[in-house]
Structure 1
Amino acid sequence: MGNISKKKREQLLEFLNKLREEHEDDEVLFSINKIESELTSIKYGLVWEEHEERVDKEIETKVPVFTEIKEREISSNGSLPYNFLLEGDNLHSLYLLEKTHKNKIDVIYIDPPYNRGKDDFIYDDNYVDEEDAFKHSKWLSFMSKRLNIAYKLLNSEGVIFISIDDNEMAQLKMLCDSIFG
């Protein structure tokens, strides 16, 4: 039995070559080359439909900033390194930490939503129910953004711990493999 995906890819590449012969416009040729690059880049891996979250729109105009609140300060020995509490949307917070703590974090622990179709996980302010055909794609989009930033935050000795149940375990494993190696 042959590789069906490979045959389909080869047919599409042939079609792109025909288009290349018919067009001389640089913009069209650039687009054809971009399509060819996408067709040939992934041989195996996790592929999903990406989805936009409310926070994706917010980040375009609302830049997260650290704000120190003196009355919430926790004092300790001033000569020791300090920890801090960062409140806010987790993606906004991660973008901010990416600017200030890249390659500096030793340990990350996350307990992401388990995506069980219950009312405890929100995308775009709408609950994703069990019947949503894109519920795994939405979850992967959600997690991919955050784990890619988490990877950039970890130092070379850093580790990440993730709590999850069986509902998204397989997808999370493949996603982590693609990001963390």
Structure 2
Amino acid sequence: MENLSKIKREHMLEFLNKLRDEHGDDDTIIAINEIESALTSKKYGLVWEEHIERVDEKIKTNVPVFTEVEEKEILADPSLSYNFLLEGDNLHSLYLLEKTHKGKVDVIYIDPPYNRGKDDFIYNDNYVDEEDNFKHSKWLSFMSKRLGIAYKLLNSDGVIFISIDDNEMSQLKMLCDSIFGDANCIGVIIQNKLNSKNEANCTIKLAT
């Protein structure tokens, strides 16, 4: 069975190559390259409008560093391997851990914002409400950066557990498949709870 989308795309790329041969000025070449990039970009899976976080901009000029707070020292047996509690912006912290713990982590558990549109998700210092037309793409931009680094932190036998509800479950599953590989998804654990209004809530742990 022929892939019609692929055939159309190949015809358009051939036409772009003809235009590239006929028009050699810089502006036209730049425009053609941008169109070609769009035509050859991802055609299956999760696609969203990418957004830049302010923390991304800060990292360009302000490199985060570890600073020990001695009065918050976690006392333990000095003969054993020590643990530490890292406090700070989660993206800053992940970038630091990538430098010190890349490929060394056994288990990661995260409980990200559920993006319910009810003051549970802050993006660039503003709450993302249910009327925001880009609420899903903002959430995906937020998550993709952090999960991308989490993937680098895990060792070859590592596992990540993610709590989420049905607001972003389908998006999260596709995002994890693209980062960790769909063959590495162990499964979904559904936990049913009853809140004070006797409404069923669903917490899902995605193990990858």
Q: TM-score, normalised by structure 1?
A: 0.89
Relative to structure 1, the CA distance from residue 83 to residue 31 in structure 2 (aligned partners, 3 Å threshold; closer, same or farther) is farther
User: For 1:34-57, what per-residue CA distance to the aligned partner results, in whole angstroms no more than 9, with x for missing partners?
Assistant: 643552242311100001112111
Structure 2 counterpart of 1:97: 97
Q: What is the rounded CA distance, in whole Å, between the counterparts of 1:178 and 1:127 in structure 2?
A: 27
Distance across 2 between alignment mates of 1:83 and 1:12: 56
Any idea what the Cα deviations from partners look like across 1:22-73, whole Å, max 9, x if unmatched? 1345886577456435522423111000011121111112211111111111
Q: Which residue of 1 aligns with 2:169?
A: 169
| TM norm structure 2 | 0.78
Matches within 5 A, 1:119-130: 119-130=119-130
Shift of 1:79: 1.7
Q: How does 1:7-156 map to 2 (within 5 A)?
A: 9-10=9-10, 12-24=12-24, 29=29, 32-33=32-33, 35-156=35-156
Q: What's 2:184 paired with?
A: none
How far has the Cα of 1:179 moved from its partner?
Answer: 0.2
Higher helix fraction: Structure 1 or Structure 2?
Answer: 1
**Worse-superposed segment, 140-149 or 46-55:** 46-55
Higher relative contact order (CA 8 A, sep 6+): 1
Q: Which moved more, 1:162-171 or 1:64-73?
A: 64-73
Greater Cα shift, 100-109 or 24-33: 24-33
Give how far 1:80 is off.
Answer: 1.1
Q: Quick one: which amino acid aligns to residue 147 of structure 1?
A: L
CA separation of 1:80/1:27 partners in 2, compared to 1, >3 Å: closer, same or farther? farther
Match for 1:133: what amino acid?
N
Matched residue pairs, number?
A: 180
Q: Which amino acid aligns with 1:42?
A: K
Unaligned 5+ segments in structure 1 are none
Q: CA–CA distance in 2 between the matches of 1:52 and 1:130?
A: 20
Structure 2: which amino acid aligns with 1:49? Answer: E
Task: Provide, for residues 146-181 of structure 1, a one-character-per-residue CA deviation record: whole Å limited to 9, x for no partner.
Answer: 000000000001100000000000000000000000
The runs of 5 or more residues in structure 2 that have no matched partner are: 182-208
Residues 146 and 20 (structure 1), Cα distance of their counterparts in 2 relative to 1, 3 Å cut? same
**Displaced runs of 4+ in structure 1, greater than 6 A?**
none
Q: CA RMSD in A?
A: 2.3
